[in-house]
Structure 1
Amino acid sequence: MKKQYSVSLVVAIVLMWTLPAMSTDIYLPSLPNMAKYFDVTLSEVQLTIFFYTMGFSIGALFFGPISDRIGRRPVVIASMAFSAITSLVACITPNLTVLFIARFLQGVGLVGVASTMRAITKDVSPDAASMAKFGAILGIAVPIASAVAPILGGYIERFFYWRMSFAFLFVYILIFLVYSIKKFPETNHEKLERPFKYLLKDYKEVLFNRTFFSYNLVTAMSLSAMYGYLTVSPKLLQVKYGLSPEAFGYTNLLVTVSLIASSFLNSKLINRFGIDRLLKIGVYIIGFSGMFFVIGGVLPIDSIYLILVPLCIMVFGCGFIFPNASAGGMSLFPKNAGTAGAVYAFIQMLGGSIGSGLISSVSHRFDAQICLGVLLIIQTLIGLYTVSYLIKNKE
């Protein structure tokens, strides 16, 4: 029987879940000026997102299995402490190379928080449907953080300096580190007794489960779309259309509204349609946004709405994918949630890294808007095949 936890713990889980989004989005408005500061191209500075997602992806493989065996609380505390240190290093970095390293290590630290929070949602949820509803709440919290972070970062860039964005992250993480030390409870009351020497076998059990991998792949495709957009958004909105850092930050409010709307709608439809059919709807919506991006890039019309409208459509589709795919995959391993969460985070962030890396490598040669649209269309085709397998397998 699941233990009932306080509202304050749920709030803390939600806020800590937003840390990775905050660390990605808060300095986006500063990217053009960071390129000038380091005397490099914008594409080179955009690689800080790629290195962060790579660190996040690789680090995911370690923290989940550890939390299965020693508990969630010590992993959360250690991850918070490491993330605070790397944020401070990013703040005082003397050059771009050190910033790349700091961002990579920051990703390693924050994935310890994210993967453990995902496992904790399993700890406190009695079934997959409840977990999906919890995921919908988290799905609302992340876009709020993604909206607040670049707005805050825009004003930091305007009135202070890009380094202050990382200083803010340092203080923000430090607050939750203190909370975790003083009040965060242990939620894993069924610790895995298997020694670490069986870790590879545990990974194999999770990774080679075709249903789990299918859910994970759909999420990876969606996150690739999100990070692809985040990577080129300063170029599309600040460089091409001349938005100020703070105006750029406010455009993320559209992302928030879209994701909150779809997450809310998802929570209302989950019991009626089930997670797999809602996943398929989300994939179709992302495909439509990809076609919109391509058409907007081809048309001889210079309008920022040809970017913002398909952006909202894309994010709306993601709101049907993130909570349902996570619930469907994680519910398969109730005794091994930490390991499952680690593999899940690894694959989804690997997708984000691929999306960010691909866009960075081609957006300086071709139209960034068209490149993003083509990426979304390819992901849609893969996603539709994957979801069709899930539906057919259950029938």
Structure 2
Amino acid sequence: MWHVYFACFIAFFNSAINGYDLSVFNNLATFKSFGTSFTGNDDFKDNSSKYALTSAILQIGSIIGCFFVGLVSDNIGRRGGMLVGSVIIIIGVILELATSNLNIFILGRFLIGFGVVQVTTAAPTYTVEVAHPQFRARAGAIYNTGWNVGSIPASIILLGESHVLLFQYFRECPQA
């Protein structure tokens, strides 16, 4: 029975990565050094269209990814859907980390959004499918708290990094 709980626990982290990513980006965008590394401006939010696109592209990727979720999960299963989504997310993160070009960064955010919708659709379904009937409702409820489990540590990490004078050299650390 422990392996079922372990599988639910792993699926739970799919929700946490979504909360982590959204909190990291929203906090990073407030740092002047983050915007300077892409736009050359002192403040990334000075160019509202670039900031808006960079912020919204994750949801755009999720919307487009919605059309493929059923196909992926039905053809290769829930675990396969989580795997495919996780691989897409990893590719998006690699693109974000490897570039100082805003367009490539936006592409990485799009891929993360595309992967997140795969993962966050397959994971709760998988969790309630494998959980014991007596534990099923609690497993679903615990899954939904995962967003906060990822979001809160991300905010705390970036709060600490906001006091580090050398932050411009560590833009990639929290995103990884």
1:19 lines up with 2:10 in the alignment: no
Distance 1:90 1:21 in 2: 17
1:136 lines up with 2:145 in the alignment: no
Distance 1:4 1:147, change over 3 A: closer
- Residue 157 (structure 1) shift: 4.9
Residue ranges of structure 2 left out of the alignment (5+ in a row):
none
1:100 corresponds, among 89, 106, 117, to 106
- Residue 75 (structure 1) shift: 2.5
Q: In the TM superposition, what whole-angstrom CA distance separates every residue of 1:156-202 from its partner, at most 9, and x where no partner exists?
A: 45444222222x2xxxxxxxxxxxxxxxxxxxxxxxxxxxxxxxxxx
1:45 lines up with 2:54 in the alignment: no
Distance 1:119 1:60 in 2: 15
Distance 1:60 1:4, change over 3 A: farther
Distance 1:64 1:122, change over 3 A: farther
Distance 1:85 1:156, change over 3 A: farther
Distance 2:138 2:6 in 1: 18
1:154 lines up with 2:159 in the alignment: yes
Distance 1:92 1:70, change over 3 A: closer
| Contact 1:156 1:164 survives alignment (8 Å) | no
| Contact 1:26 1:150 survives alignment (8 Å) | yes
Partner amino acid for 1:120?
Y
Distance 1:27 1:153, change over 3 A: farther
Superposition RMSD in Å: 2.6
Distance 1:157 1:164 in 2: 13
Report the secondary structure of 1:93's partner residue: coil
Partner amino acid for 1:74?
G
TM-score (ref. length: structure 1): 0.38
| Contact 1:5 1:124 survives alignment (8 Å) | no
In the other structure, the counterpart of 2:27 is 29
Partner amino acid for 1:162?
R
Report the secondary structure of 2:29's partner residue: helix
- Residue 61 (structure 1) shift: 2.1
Q: In the TM superposition, what whole-angstrom CA distance separates every residue of 1:182-233 from its partner, at most 9, and x where no partner exists?
A: xxxxxxxxxxxxxxxxxxxxxxxxxxxxxxxxxxxxxxxxxxxxxxxxxxxx
Residue ranges of structure 1 left out of the alignment (5+ in a row):
169-395
Matches within 5 A, 1:351-366: none
Distance 1:19 1:64, change over 3 A: farther
- Residue 73 (structure 1) shift: 2.5
Partner amino acid for 2:25?
Y
Distance 1:154 1:47, change over 3 A: farther
Distance 1:68 1:122, change over 3 A: farther
In the other structure, the counterpart of 1:165 is 174
Higher relative CO (Cα under 8 Å, sequence separation at least 6) belongs to: 2
* Bigger radius of gyration: 1
1:111 lines up with 2:120 in the alignment: no
Distance 1:17 1:64 in 2: 18
Matches within 5 A, 1:1-395: 6-32=4-30, 33=32, 34-37=34-37, 38=39, 39=41, 41-42=44-45, 43=48, 44-125=50-131, 131-159=136-164, 160=167, 161-166=170-175, 168=176
Distance 1:154 1:27 in 2: 13
- Residue 14 (structure 1) shift: 1.0
| Contact 2:93 2:108 survives alignment (8 Å) | yes
Distance 1:64 1:41, change over 3 A: same
Distance 2:107 2:156 in 1: 26
Partner amino acid for 1:112?
Q
Distance 1:60 1:158, change over 3 A: farther
Q: In the TM superposition, what whole-angstrom CA distance separates every residue of 1:309-344 from its partner, at most 9, and x where no partner exists?
A: xxxxxxxxxxxxxxxxxxxxxxxxxxxxxxxxxxxx
Distance 1:100 1:121 in 2: 31
Distance 1:96 1:165 in 2: 18
In the other structure, the counterpart of 1:288 is none
Distance 1:118 1:10 in 2: 9
Report the secondary structure of 1:114's partner residue: helix
Distance 1:134 1:48 in 2: 33
In the other structure, the counterpart of 1:386 is none
| Contact 2:124 2:143 survives alignment (8 Å) | no
Partner amino acid for 1:75?
G
| Contact 1:26 1:151 survives alignment (8 Å) | no
Percent identical: 21
